[in-house]
Amino acid sequence: KNVVEVAPLAFMRGRTLNTSFIILDEAQNTTPEQMKMFLTRIGFGSKAVVTGDVTQVDVDTGRSGLLGLEPILGGIDG
């Protein structure tokens, strides 16, 4: 089905998004826990795009989920 859904991260807990195209915008303002929760929602047949600007972090810089993502996913093509 062709559905566009806009949902805050707080509503993602407990969901698995199969065969979906998922965009996480403003990811620099996620915590590492929120980033992990987002990444573990990606199901079979799904693709995800994570966008953000590490120079515009509104949370404690040491707690930005986006900053911790590159060492984990840096070697993945896409």
Residue 4: predicted pLDDT: 93
Residue 60: predicted pLDDT: 77
Residue 16: predicted pLDDT: 95
pLDDT at 78 over 80: no
Provide the CA 43 distance to its chain's centre, in angstroms: 13
Residue 7: predicted pLDDT: 92
Provide the whole-model pTM: 0.85
To the nearest whole number, what is the mean pLDDT of the chain?
90
Contact (CB, 8 A) for 19 and 45: yes
pLDDT at 73 over 90: no
pLDDT at 61 over 80: no
- Cα–Cα distances in Å, from 68 out to 19, 28, 32, 36, 64? 26, 10, 7, 10, 7
